[in-house]
Amino acid sequence: QKEVEQDPGPLSVPEGAIVSLNCTYSNSAFQYFMWYRQYSRKGPELLMYTYSSGNKEDGRFTAQVDKSSKYISLFIRDSQPSDSATYLCAMSAAKAAGNKLTFGGGTRVLVKP
Amino acid sequence: EPEVTQTPSHQVTQMGQEVILRCVPISNHLYFYWYRQILGQKVEFLVSFYNNEISEKSEIFDDQFSVERPDGSNFTLKIRSTKLEDSAMYFCASSSGPRETQYFGPGTRLLVL
C-alpha cells in the first residue's frame, strides 16, 4: 500500500463549479497536512496547511482532515480557469529537526471557461 | 515577498559528470530541503539539512549525492557522477522551523545524456 494515494485525474469541471480533491494515507504518524498547487514545470506553491483533524478555510479554499479515516480533502469554490493546475497533497510527521514531506502523485484539474 | 531561488533553471550534462545545483533559501529560514520529481512521477524527498548537518535522507540520497551550505546564503546539491536516471526536476525548499511551511523554489531541470 502506498503511503499517500491520490487520484491522478484529470478532473474537468466548468467554470464556477466546486472542485473536490482528496487523498488517503496509511501512516498514522502524519500530523501535518498540506495542499500545494503546481503549474506545469514549476515548483509547488503552498495553498493550505493544517495540523491534525478539522477544517480550515481560506478564501475560496477549504481543507478538511479526518485522521480517524486517514482522509484529507480540498475544496475549491467558484473555480476559475486559472485554477487549472495539478494539486498535490503532502503530509509529514512531527519531528524535531526538519520534516520530510511525503507527497501524493497529484490530481490534474482543468477548469473550462 | 521573499522566495526561494534556484540556479540554473536548466542543466544538461553527460553521464558520469558532476553537477552542482544551487539554491538561495529564504533569508531567515534555518531548515533546508531537496526534493526531486522525475517527469510524470510524484515529488520525492531527498534530504533535509539543519545546523550544518543532514537531519534526514532518503534511500535515493546515496553516496553520489552531497549537500553543503558553503556560505550564509547558498545551499547546494552535488551529484558526483550523474546517471541517466538522475534526470529530473530538482526542487529546493526552506522553512523557518521544523514544522513550519516549506516554501519551494522554481526547480532545476536536469537532463543527463
With bands split at pLDDT 50, 70 and 90, how would you rate the model's confidence at A97?
low
Contact call for residues B113 and B82 (beta carbons, < 8 A):
no
| A1 or A109, greater pLDDT | A109
pLDDT digits (tens, 9 = 90+) for B43-69: 999 999 998 999 999 999 999 999 999
What integer pLDDT is reported at residue A42 of this predicted model?
A: 87
What integer pLDDT is reported at residue A101 of this predicted model?
A: 94
Q: How does DSSP classify residue A97?
A: S
What integer pLDDT is reported at residue A98 of this predicted model?
A: 66
Can you tell me which residue has the cell 539543519? B50
What integer pLDDT is reported at residue B65 of this predicted model?
A: 97
pLDDT at A17 over 80: yes
pLDDT at A96 over 80: no
**Chain A CB contacts of B105 below 8 Å:** 43
Nearest to B25 by CA among B72, B87, B63: B72
**Chain A CB contacts of B106 below 8 Å:** 42-43
DSSP letters spanning chain B: ----EEE-SEEEE-TT--EEEEEE--TT--EEEEEEE-TTS--EEEEEEETTEEEEE-TT--TTEEEE--SSS-EEEEESS--GGG-EEEEEEEESSTTSPPEE---EEEEE-
Which residue of chain B has the CA closest to A47?
Answer: B101
Closest-CA distance, B5 to chain A, in angstroms, reads 10
- Is the CB of residue B44 less than 8 Å away from at least one CB of chain A? yes
What integer pLDDT is reported at residue B90 of this predicted model?
A: 98
| A43 or B99, greater pLDDT | A43
